[in-house]
Amino acid sequence: MNEPGTIDDLLDSRLMAHLDRLDVVSKKIFSGKIHGERRSRRRGQSVEFADFRNYSHGDDLRFVDWNIYARLDRLFLKMFLEEEDLSMVIAVDASASMDFGTPNKMHYARRLAMALGYIGLVNNNRVSLFSFSDDRIERLTGLRGRRRTREMGQWLLNLQPGGTADFAAACRAIALGGQGRGVLLLLSDFLFPDGFEKGLRSIAGRGFDVYALQLLAPDEIDPARHGVLGDLRLVDSESAAEVEVTASSAVVGQYRERLDAHIASLREYCVRRNIAHQVVETSLQLETLLVDYLRRRGLLA
């Protein structure tokens, strides 16, 4: 997968046509800031009836149920479920470890973020984008509507991977970012030297409907099949630390066990905190991921 250079590279028209039919679904119902296309706990102005209440002075006469008034001679006000906008936060790990693999994890994350953001924008949700690397957190917030697609795409194109991710700090910043509660999509490989627990913990308590999409390249999942064999000096892309490894079948097998344990521990941690976790191999077609995998997981409908 080549590095996307244009917005079309991030989201082509064919995929766009598929995405137009999708919407982001939240397992939780959040109160939005403005009227949107999503049910809200608030009673509002949607067409979906919720309840009646006695009319009180100052209520909007348009919502008085005149049929009941005719029968009972009392004023009742019809209450409808408020349809509010959904806050959709997409956080992209832009650390150096993401700039790795074939297909490249960062390229894949950009395209995935673009696709998810597009779905949010098309459905009039409030879309916010975060990226984090080193102690720097980039953000693009308050996007709404299809016309902000280009702006979002340009922001994603400008993302430059590098440095070491401080996942905990990034999560804390997102949680306190005032974007409102909503769907939080974490696009990362979750290969944080300091662990992922602290970061996820800071998010889990904030009422987000969190999706942890763990991006891993095929080289990482099965290194032996991709030429990682023999006597190697492995260099950490983030810390530049070197490890001398003789990648025998035993060592590679041990690595696979370590990686599987890491994935399993992340999944267990997420399940315990009601966070959806999905491992995404970057060789997977984006369309398949969106239309098949994420729909099955309930993120998209």
Partner 1 sequence: MMVGNPAMLALDWIAPLAGAVIAASTIPPLLALYFLRLRRSRRVVAATMHWRRAAEDVRANAPFQRLRLSLLLLLQLIALGLVALGIAQPQVDLGLGGAEKIAILIDRSGSMGALDGEADGTRLAQAKEQAVERVRALHGGGLFAGPAPSIMVIAFASEATVLCPFTDSAVQAITAIESIEATDESTAIGGGIELARSFAARGGEDGTANLSVPAVLEVYSDGRIADLEGLSLRDGERVVFHRIGGQDSPNVGVGAIAVTRMPESPGEVRVFARVVSWSKSPRQTDLELRVDGRLLAVTPAPMELAAASPDAATGALLPAQTQAVFPGVQVPAGAVVEVRVTAEDRLPADNAARVVAPRLGGLKIALVGRGSFVLRSVIEGMSPASFESFTLDAWNARLAKDPSAPDAFDVVVLEQVAPQSMARGRYLMFGAAPTGTSIVPFGTKQQVLPRSIRSEHPLLQYVNLDDLFVASMTAVAPGSDSDVVVEASEGPMILTLSRGPLTLVYVSFDPLDSDWPFQRSFVNFTANALAWLAAGGLPAAEEPLSPGAVASGRLPAGAQAPSARSSTGMTPPLSLLEGGRFTLGPLRRAGTATLEWQIGSKSATPTSLAFAVNMDCQTEGRLDAADQLQLATNSIAAQPSRAASQSMWPWLLLAAVGVLLLEWWVWLRRT
- Measured from the CB atom, is 173 or 232 closer to partner 1? 232
- Measured from the CB atom, is 84 or 238 closer to partner 1? 238
- Measured from the CB atom, is 17 or 243 closer to partner 1? 243
- Measured from the CB atom, is 84 or 166 closer to partner 1? 166
- Measured from the CB atom, is 194 or 287 closer to partner 1? 194
Q: 203 to each of 77, 167, 171, 209, how far by Cα in Å?
A: 39, 11, 6, 10
Report, in Å, the least distance between residue 242 CB and partner 1.
8
Q: How far apart are CA 297 and CA 301, in angstroms?
A: 10
Report, in Å, the least distance between residue 157 CB and partner 1.
22
Report, in Å, the least distance between residue 170 CB and partner 1.
17
Report, in Å, the least distance between residue 25 CB and partner 1.
31
Q: How far apart are CA 183 and CA 113, in angstroms?
A: 13
Please choose, from the candidates 121, 133, 34, 41, the residue with its C-alpha nearest in 3D space to the C-alpha of residue 84. 34
Report, in Å, the least distance between residue 300 CB and partner 1.
28
Q: How far apart are CA 154 and CA 19, in angstroms?
A: 19
Interacting residues with partner 1 (CB under 8 A): 97-98, 100-101, 105, 189, 191, 193, 217, 219-220, 228, 230-239, 241-246, 248, 250-252, 254-255, 257-259, 262
- DSSP per residue over 104-159, as a string? THHHHHHHHHHHHHHHHHHTT-EEEEEEEEBTEEEEEEEE-SGGGHHHHHHHHHT-
